[in-house]
């Protein structure tokens, strides 16, 4: 059969688009923070990772422009060869300081950062141990490990199940290298990792740990220092990983940890070696964002208030909302069609959220993911709640309205 036959057969997206229910790849024609223009209308943006609202901050934009004026738009090479600017080293020093680690290393995307750490660290006698609901970039990294060293080198434990993690680690040879990788804040549900328990299990088995804190930095901990700091466990996790595409208002990612570990990855990571380095404007945006995060902790306080109001409001209306404390609010609808219909109706009412179905979440956990920026105002929240109520009633999804419940 022709290789491209499957592409000719692939029509699902066309049917969904034709029915008007396609929640993905929706273009934004104007970005004004909490309000954006989509499909020719002003829409409340309640599905963004721009948590601190800094991507539109005039100070961040000016820093990006200045860096572009000085260094141009691109680095035109990888860090190894011609792609290292003073700015890259400056940002790594700033991140080491921000996280209280000996050293940091930046990559061109968060996705590459996870692969970039996992692939060089796992050798033929080691094991990668991964939470079942980890971000896909970790899963892709684990596939490379399987390809290089065999499928049994990757072990997956049930989501946030520390007893199962203990069991998995117990099944591995005592003298083998073990690397537990996990999200700090799970990106779809907003749940936090059970860090104290996880670290205790890791220590028991002599395993090393890496915390992907894409959604924790800027949101949790002292001045946004993230999930480990939130738990008072700054020194208890071996490697911290973060992305710049959320609170840091840019694009890229980083690792922070002991210098010898960072150096080992720096000189052995194909994701770093064979990819062009972060452009100047992106680096300058992160540097300015860190400065603002340190000066304006009120942005984090505002985020906490927003997520609490939305979560409590939706629960009071009768929605099935996951508990949490970060600005990711998951409304479980548990059905693909309902999730897409709800998404479409909300769009018609002027509210954009993320529609999330399997495989991004387990079957039965299809959800609408709301996420907020600190610049979201109270009147936006009121409108979001009002529109959820209107659409919820129209689609009959409240517990009291449905025979089956949900
Ligand atoms: C938990 C987590 N890790 C890694 C990534 C990848 O980061 P980026 O989008 O910056 O490449 C994401 C992004 O969605 C994420 O949510």
CATH of the domain at 325: 3.90.1150.10
Contact 313, 385 (CB under 8 A): yes
- Tell me: do 159 and 209 sit in the same domain: yes
- Tell me: do 190 and 245 sit in the same domain: yes
What pLDDT score was predicted for residue 20? 87
- Tell me: do 353 and 239 sit in the same domain: no
- Tell me: do 232 and 251 sit in the same domain: yes
Contact 29, 38 (CB under 8 A): yes
Contact 356, 325 (CB under 8 A): no
Within a 10 A sphere around the Cβ of 15, how many other Cβ atoms? 10
State the closest ligand 1 atom to the C-alpha of 245, by its place in the atom list counted from 1: 10
Kindly give the residue spans of alpha helices, DSSP state H, lying in 194-321. Answer: 195-204, 227-230, 259-266, 270-273, 280-295, 298-317
Contact 367, 188 (CB under 8 A): yes
Last residue of a domain, one of 251, 268, 295: 295
Ligand 1: centre distance to CA 64 (Å): 22
Tens of pLDDT along the chain (406 residues)? 999 999 999 998 998 888 888 999 999 999 999 999 999 999 999 999 999 999 999 999 999 999 999 999 999 999 999 999 999 999 999 999 999 999 999 999 999 999 999 999 999 999 999 999 999 999 999 999 999 999 999 999 999 999 999 999 999 999 999 999 999 999 999 999 999 999 999 999 999 999 999 999 999 999 999 999 999 999 999 999 999 999 999 999 999 999 999 999 999 999 999 999 999 999 999 999 999 999 999 999 999 999 999 999 999 999 999 999 999 999 999 999 999 999 999 999 999 999 999 999 999 999 999 999 999 999 999 999 999 999 999 999 875 444 334 4
Whole-angstrom Cα distance, residue 166 to residue 153? Answer: 17
Contact 158, 164 (CB under 8 A): yes
- Tell me: do 187 and 306 sit in the same domain: no
Ligand 1: centre distance to CA 138 (Å): 9
Question: Which residue among 49, 118, 245 has the greatest number of ligand 1 atoms within 8 angstroms of its CB, and so is best to mutate?
Answer: 245
- Tell me: do 229 and 136 sit in the same domain: yes
Phi, psi of 381 (to 5 degrees): -60, -45
Which residue in the block uniquely carries the two structure tokens 């860096």?
67
Ligand 1: centre distance to CA 251 (Å): 10
- β-partners of residue 243 are 253
- Tell me: do 244 and 214 sit in the same domain: yes
Which residues make Cβ contacts (< 8 Å) with residue 249, sequence separation at least 6? 50, 52, 54, 55, 57, 60, 285, 286, 289
- Tell me: do 230 and 277 sit in the same domain: yes
| 111 in a structural domain | yes
State the closest ligand 1 atom to the C-alpha of 246, by its place in the atom list counted from 1: 10
Ligand 1: centre distance to CA 214 (Å): 6
Ligand 1: centre distance to CA 115 (Å): 11
| 271 in a structural domain | yes
Domain count, the chain: 2
Whole-angstrom Cα distance, residue 143 to residue 141? Answer: 5
Ligand 1: centre distance to CA 134 (Å): 10
Ligand 1: centre distance to CA 352 (Å): 20
Terminal C-alpha separation, the chain: 43
Enclosing domain of residue 320: 5-51+297-401
Distance of CA 380 to the CA centre of its chain: 23
Contact 77, 276 (CB under 8 A): yes
Whole-angstrom Cα distance, residue 224 to residue 374? Answer: 13
| 33 in a structural domain | yes
- Tell me: do 194 and 247 sit in the same domain: yes
- Tell me: do 153 and 277 sit in the same domain: yes
Which residues make Cβ contacts (< 8 Å) with residue 144, sequence separation at least 6? 115, 118, 119
Whole-angstrom Cα distance, residue 179 to residue 186? Answer: 19
| 406 in a structural domain | no
CATH code, domain carrying 102: 3.40.640.10
- Tell me: do 226 and 255 sit in the same domain: yes
What pLDDT score was predicted for residue 397? 87
Last residue of a domain, one of 267, 295, 323: 295
CA-closest residue to ligand 1 atom 15: 214
C-alpha distances in Å from residue 105, one per residue of 42, 100, 233, 285, 292:
39, 14, 21, 17, 21
CA-closest residue to ligand 1 atom 7: 110
| 209 in a structural domain | yes
- Tell me: do 39 and 121 sit in the same domain: no
> Residues lining ligand 1, CB < 6 A?
109-111, 114, 135, 137, 183, 187, 212, 214-215, 243, 245, 253
Ligand 1: centre distance to CA 83 (Å): 23
Last residue of a domain, one of 241, 270, 295: 295
Which residues make Cβ contacts (< 8 Å) with residue 370, sequence separation at least 6? 46, 47, 310, 328, 329, 330, 331, 353, 354, 384
State the closest ligand 1 atom to the C-alpha of 134, by its place in the atom list counted from 1: 1
CA-closest residue to ligand 1 atom 8: 110
What pLDDT score was predicted for residue 15? 87
Kindly give the residue spans of alpha helices, DSSP state H, lying in 173-233. Answer: 195-204, 227-230
Question: Which residue among 142, 186, 243, 282 has the greatest number of ligand 1 atoms within 8 angstroms of its CB, and so is best to mutate?
Answer: 243
- β-partners of residue 36 are 31, 43
Distance of CA 308 to the CA centre of its chain: 20
């Amino acid at each position: 059969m022709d290789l491209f036959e499957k592409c000719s057969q692939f029509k699902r997206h066309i049917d969904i688009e034709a029915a008007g229910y396609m929640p993905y790849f929706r273009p934004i024609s104007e970005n004004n923070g909490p309000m954006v223009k989509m499909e020719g209308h002003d829409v409340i943006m309640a599905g963004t990772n721009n948590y601190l609202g800094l991507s539109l901050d005039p100070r961040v934009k000016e820093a990006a422009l200045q860096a572009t004026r000085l260094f141009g738009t691109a680095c035109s090479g990888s860090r190894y060869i011609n792609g290292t600017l003073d700015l890259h080293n400056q940002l790594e020093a700033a991140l080491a300081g921000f996280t209280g680690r000996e050293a940091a290393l930046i990559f061109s995307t968060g996705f590459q950062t996870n692969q970039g750490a996992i692939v060089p660290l796992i050798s033929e006698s080691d094991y990668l141990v991964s939470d079942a609901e980890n971000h896909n970039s970790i899963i892709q990294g684990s596939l490379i490990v399987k390809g290089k060293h065999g499928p049994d080198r990757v072990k997956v434990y049930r989501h946030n199940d520390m007893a199962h993690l203990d069991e998995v680690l117990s099944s591995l040879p005592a003298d083998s290298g073990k690397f537990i990788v996990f999200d700090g804040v799970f990106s779809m549900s907003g749940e936090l990792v059970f860090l104290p328990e996880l670290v205790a299990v890791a220590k028991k088995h002599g395993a090393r740990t890496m915390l992907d804190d894409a959604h924790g930095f800027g949101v949790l901990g002292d001045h946004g220092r993230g999930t480990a700091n939130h738990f008072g466990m700054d020194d208890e996790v071996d490697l911290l990983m973060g992305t710049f595409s959320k609170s840091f208002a840019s694009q890229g990612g980083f690792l922070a940890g002991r210098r010898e570990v960072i150096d080992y990855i720096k000189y052995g990571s194909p994701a770093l070696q064979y990819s062009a380095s972060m452009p100047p404007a992106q680096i300058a945006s992160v540097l300015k964002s860190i400065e603002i995060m340190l000066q304006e902790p009120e942005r984090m306080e505002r985020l906490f208030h927003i997520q609490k109001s939305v979560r409590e409001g939706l629960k009071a209306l009768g929605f099935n909302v996951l508990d949490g404390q970060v600005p990711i609010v998951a409304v479980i609808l548990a059905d693909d069609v309902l999730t897409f219909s709800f998404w479409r109706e909300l769009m018609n009412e002027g509210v954009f959220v993320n529609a999330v179905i399997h495989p991004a979440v387990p079957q039965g956990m299809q959800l609408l993911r709301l996420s907020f920026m600190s610049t979201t105002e109270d009147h936006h929240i009121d409108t979001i709640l009002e529109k959820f109520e209107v659409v919820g009633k129209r689609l009959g999804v409240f517990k009291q309205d449905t025979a089956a419940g949900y």
